[in-house]
């Protein structure tokens, strides 16, 4: 009888050790898979934020050119100096709000104007977001008057 109980105990002990050994092998594999999935999700989010920032930057450039052209064609309008363009999350493709700051310098009619555009995404009011992407684009714009178009 004594021998049977020792065999059962030793079998249970061996099975417990085998189970612990399997867990010791499987657990790091599962954790590395979870870590890789989280890393990939963060990388994808960064890439999406960069893409959206580039789209906002391009939209800001188009908006600035349209405003500059309108001011050049209509002398009753004041010269376009720029603006802060806040976009709510429902106005753009992704979930977060964004901001485009357009600044126009050198308002002289004879020299090219320098347009600086700064796009930020995501933009949460009153909050510093670690994943915020900011890009800047600067270009010159020559004022085209009706007499210069011919």
pLDDT in tens, 54-66: 999 999 999 999 9
Q: Indicate the burial class of 36 (C-beta count within 10 angstroms; 0-12, 13-18, 19 or more).
A: exposed
Q: Note the pLDDT tens digit of each residue in 86-133.
A: 988 887 777 788 999 999 997 776 788 899 999 999 887 666 666 788
Residue 6 pLDDT exceeds 60: no
Residue 148 pLDDT exceeds 60: no
Q: Indicate the burial class of 132 (C-beta count within 10 angstroms; 0-12, 13-18, 19 or more).
A: middle
pLDDT score, position 144: 59
Q: 91: which DSSP letter?
A: G
| Residues 78 and 115: beta-carbon distance below 8 Å | no
pLDDT score, position 149: 41
- The confidence band for 67, taking pLDDT boundaries of 50, 70 and 90, is very high
Mean pLDDT computed over every residue of the chain: 84
Angle CA(18)–CA(23)–CA(26) in degrees, nearest 5?
Answer: 125
Report pTM: 0.72
Q: Note the pLDDT tens digit of each residue in 68-85.
A: 999 888 888 888 899 999
Is the sign of the CA dihedral 146, 148, 149, 150 positive or negative?
positive
Question: Mean of the pLDDT values across residues 20-36?
Answer: 93
pLDDT score, position 132: 84
């Amino acid at each position: 009888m004594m021998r049977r109980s020792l065999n059962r105990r030793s079998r249970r002990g061996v099975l417990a050790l085998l189970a612990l050994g399997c867990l010791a092998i499987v657990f790091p594999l599962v954790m590395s898979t979870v870590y890789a999935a989280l890393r990939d999700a963060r990388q994808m989010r960064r890439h999406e934020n960069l893409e959206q920032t580039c789209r906002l930057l391009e939209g800001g450039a188009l908006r600035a050119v349209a405003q500059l052209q309108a001011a050049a064609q209509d002398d009753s309008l004041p010269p376009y100096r720029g603006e802060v363009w806040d976009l709510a999350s429902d106005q753009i493709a992704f979930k977060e709000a964004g901001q485009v700051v357009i600044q126009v310098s050198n308002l002289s009619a004879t020299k090219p104007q320098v347009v600086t555009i700064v796009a930020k995404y995501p933009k949460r009011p009153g909050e510093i977001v670690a994943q915020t992407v900011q890009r800047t684009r600067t270009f010159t714009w020559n004022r085209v008057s009706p007499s210069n178009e011919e």
